[in-house]
Amino acid sequence: MQPTGEAHLGNYLGAIRQWVELQEAPDAPEAFYSIVDYHALSIAMTADQLRAWTFDMAATFLACGLDPKRVVLFRQSDVPEHTELAWILATSAAMGDLSRMTQFKEKSEQNRDNVNAGIFIYPVLQAADILLYKADRVPVGEDQVQHLELARELARRFNRRVGFDVFPEPQPLLSKVTRLKGLDGSAKMSKSKGNTVALSDAPDAIRAKIKVAVTDPARLRRYDPGHPEVCNVFTLHGSFTAPLNAARYAEIDRDCRSGALGCVDCKKELADRVVEHLTPIRERLEALRAKPDELEAVLADGGKRAGEVARATMEDVRARIGVRPSR
């Protein structure tokens, strides 16, 4: 995840909560989670901002429940093999493939005054992030499947090039949560658009943001029948109400459709559930933000563990492409 500001509801539901669930599974896999500060450089920011946001992202991961003793949590720039492998993979990446990346088009639109080469080759570095650890599964949302397919293709091209299966082809582990719309009804939640809830938001701020969230556009009056399948507020109930009380979630669906439950009351109930869920996370986050030395120790240890795996991979890669003597 990029350290480009505070983590928000979309980050949490789309990725972080799934990572924690994977960690807690009886057959929990060996997992690597990276704060990708090199990726973040494609967005204009100061050195102080990048350092602060990197620490904040580490604090967020820990506050949400990731355990650095059970997963490898590290800072991308602590493992220089990421950028080395990215260059090697870039020599097999086709310009046409990169130009067709949906996120390149989106980021170019959002940053018209800074459409840099980093945004263009971003998916190659992302492929290196994955292949360096020979990952067989990658937790992703639907919007990242295209990037993962490129990583699979680059793995195939490298393996054909050297005549040996160095890299497995990683499979997607799709998020259980569909791509969340912004609270303003726009296509996605975004920190830059201010249409989401930050994990550090106080209860009053959460309630205020959800109060003005866009609901079913066809429901003009309190007793009009609703269509929860098109309502983003109902989608969020699926993440916060359904896991606690499936019966209540079904009632919200039924009462919305009949007109018995109005949008105002529906949003109030959602706000209660979100506040209840995020309050302990916010409290842990506030405590961790005050301990930068502890956060640095966690990242340094994770970087050391990730580096051991990365160095072994690159020894093999270098030998097979001829930039080091074959062993």
Which pLDDT tens digit goes with each residue over 224-261? 899 999 999 999 999 999 999 999 999 999 999 999 99
Select which of 107, 181, 209, 267 is catalytic: 107
Whether 188 is a known active-site residue: answer: yes
Determine the Cα–Cα distance for residues 327 and 316; give it in Å rounded to an integer: 9
Select which of 134, 191, 193, 291 is catalytic: 191
Select which of 69, 181, 188, 304 is catalytic: 188
pLDDT for position 220: 83
Residue ranges and CATH numbers for the domains of the chain are 9-179+292-321 (3.40.50.620), 203-287 (1.10.240.10)
**Higher-confidence position of 71 and 194:** 71
* pLDDT for residue 262 is more than 90: yes
Record the pTM. 0.91
The average pLDDT across 25-31 equals 93
pLDDT for position 127: 96
Share of the chain above pLDDT 70, in %: 98
CA distances to 11, 304, 314 from 295, rounded to whole Å, are: 20, 14, 28
